[in-house]
A and B are shown apart, each in its own frame.
Chain A
């Protein structure tokens, strides 16, 4: 199985488990994704990667987790003392959960190699917005549209998604500005 991780805001992947082990700066809260997961999770929640981390770090994470349960669970303190068991228990639980995901369930319909489709760059709308609605915001939309594909082909899917949603946002702003302006301009024209 291949893994994608984000260290210092830089996305790396696909990596084998050995390559993940070789990464410096891996800690329990490092974002991790692998095929079959519906969303990013943390290194501590992926049993194989959690196993690579130092025991001390893992204990920190699991203590955090158990503290979250603490309010509901009167035995929270007791569990903290039983960390080896707690660890084992969580490991199994996540193992089973993700095992289920891996049985052919692919929630977002990505291709067989786990590469997502390129996010839309809204270029058509950005050009229309620049020409027909509002020049400054339309230009911003075009600039964000230009950032989508380089980020995507570099493998930085998060940056591509981000540029895509910003292009969309500025297209919407342009069209809303144009729509607000339109009735005023008709009135002014008729006067």
Chain B
């Protein structure tokens, strides 16, 4: 079945974007290690500044910094969902790299119920953390 759009340029863009993200990630890691989020140098959450509520990702910068210092317990305290999503994102990444070699894994990870489950988790987490202040 033919693709409905030309893919060569898209593939190139994707590769460049991927390389850019990795380089930026490494640079950020170095910066993070030496200057933590407490220094006020980093972007803040739009959602929190506008509404005063915590978004599902609030605390993930502090969690990353805590992880870099090896303090996983503190990292969980800053954003538990983020810590749980890291292995999930890793699994998704591996499944994508393997492509069709793991059809059942791919099928599970792309299933509608699975994705909607993740979405529900994120929404429930947002509500829970704002009520119980975690």
A residues neighboring B (CB under 8 Å)? 4, 33, 37-40, 107-108, 110, 114-118, 120-121, 123-124, 127-128, 130-132, 134-135, 139, 142-143, 145-150, 153, 157-158, 161, 165, 177-178, 181-183, 185-186, 188-190
Contacts and interface: CB of A to CB of B under 8 A. Distances in A.
21 contacts: A108-B7, A110-B1, A114-B1, A115-B1, A121-B110, A123-B110, A123-B115, A124-B89, A124-B93, A131-B57, A131-B85, A131-B122, A135-B56, A143-B119, A149-B112, A158-B4, A161-B4, A182-B43, A185-B43, A185-B45, A190-B41
Interface in B82-133: 82, 85, 88-89, 92-93, 96, 99-100, 106-107, 109-112, 115-116, 118-119, 122, 126
Contact of A131 (B5, B82, B115): B82
Nearest to B93: A124
Interface residues of B, number: 41
Contact of A116 (B1, B46, B88): B1
Given A127-B85, A128-B89, A135-B47, A148 B1 contact: no
Nearest to A181: B46
Nearest to B3: A108
A176 to B, nearest CB: 12
B interface secondary structure, majority: helix
B30 interface: no
A149 B43 contact: no
Contact of B46 (A40, A121, A134, A153): A134
A186 B47 contact: no
B49 interface: yes
Contact of B100 (A39, A117, A161): A117
Contacts of A134: 46
B67 interface: no
Contacts of A33: 1-2
Interface string B70-85: 0000000000011001
A117 B103 CA distance: 11
Given A107-B2, A147-B112, 9 more contacts: A116-B1, A131-B81, A131-B85, A135-B47, A149-B112, A153-B107, A185-B49, A189-B41, A189-B44
Nearest to A157: B1
